[in-house]
């Protein structure tokens, strides 16, 4: 939480500046909330920076085509700017900086796999091992196994490594598909 507090003076102005192009491009609020599955399977509201056109159907990023991405959204996703509002979730205790990426309640198979592997015992993270490894949520079993391996071998050093890899732009987990979407 101390890291999130330290990042806030940088993250808040960056989010506000990033919101301006979204406001003009999307004609909608640059920020929105979305329900995700949290620790112990309890739903919580995640704060997000809009990267997709308003009206895009709710779904996992791998199920939504890149055609629905805003021009600014493509840039923000590549630079990970779209993740910055989630620092609020770290500050309010619903997320950590590093952990399994929170998923949608509609991703029932992933919820079941994560329950089976004990992954939902910890808070979800802004970034995680699956994200830097380039795993998206299209293979729930593989994702839950990767998250379980992370949990079983947890160390502060590994979390720092994952944070560094995220900042350096490694991996493309949670990426939108190259299809046209819907």
Find the domain containing 163 and state its range.
2-167
How would DSSP label each residue in 87-105? HHHHHTTS-EEESSPPB-T
Q: Where residue 5 falls among pLDDT bands split at 50, 70, 90?
A: confident
Report the largest interatomic distance among the alpha carbons of the chain, rounded to a whole angstrom: 45
**31 forms bridges with which residues in the sheet?**
49
The answer to whether position 77 is within a domain reads yes
Mean pLDDT of the region 42-56: 91
For residue 66, the model assigns a pLDDT of 65
For the record, the structure tokens of 160 come out as 């720092």
Average predicted confidence (pLDDT) for the chain: 88
Lowest-confidence pick of 7-21, 54-68, 109-123, 153-167: 54-68
Q: Which of 54, 56, 34, 55 is nearest to 46 (CA)?
A: 34
Whether the predicted pLDDT of 13 surpasses 70: yes
Alpha-carbon gap, residue 95 to 89, rounded angstroms: 5
Residue 62 near residue 175 (C-beta atoms within 8 A):
yes
180: in domain: no
**Residue 172 maps to a domain:** no
Q: Is residue 8 part of a domain?
A: yes
Phi and psi torsions of 134, nearest 5°: 80, 15
Give the count of domains, the chain: 1
Query: Rounded to two decimals, what is the model's pTM?
Result: 0.85
Residue 151 predicted with pLDDT over 70: yes
Indicate whether 51 belongs to any domain.
yes
The pLDDT, as a whole number, for residue 65 is: 60
Residue 144, domain member (yes or no)? yes
Q: Please say whether the dihedral angle defined by the alpha carbons of residues 174, 178, 179 and 182, taken in this order, is positive or negative.
A: positive
In this structure, the number of other CB atoms found within 10 A of the CB of residue 11 comes to: 18
- Over residues 134-147, the pLDDT tens digits come to 898 889 999 999 99
């Amino acid at each position: 939480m101390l890291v999130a507090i330290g990042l806030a003076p940088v993250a808040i102005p960056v989010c506000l500046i990033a919101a301006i192009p979204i406001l003009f491009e999307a004609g909608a609020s640059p920020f929105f909330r979305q329900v995700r599955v949290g620790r112990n399977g309890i739903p919580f509201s995640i704060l997000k920076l809009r990267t997709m056109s308003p009206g895009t159907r709710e779904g996992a990023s791998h199920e939504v085509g890149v055609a629905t991405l805003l021009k600014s959204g493509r840039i923000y996703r590549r630079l990970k700017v779209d993740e910055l509002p989630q620092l609020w979730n770290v500050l309010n205790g619903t997320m950590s900086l590093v952990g399994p990426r929170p998923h949608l309640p509609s991703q029932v198979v992933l919820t079941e796999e994560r329950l089976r592997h004990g992954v939902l015992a910890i808070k979800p993270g802004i970034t995680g091992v699956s994200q830097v490894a380039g795993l998206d949520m299209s293979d729930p079993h593989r994702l839950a196994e990767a998250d379980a391996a992370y949990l079983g071998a947890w160390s502060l050093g590994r979390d720092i490594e994952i944070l560094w890899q995220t900042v350096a732009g490694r991996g493309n987990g949670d990426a939108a598909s190259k299809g046209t979407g819907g």
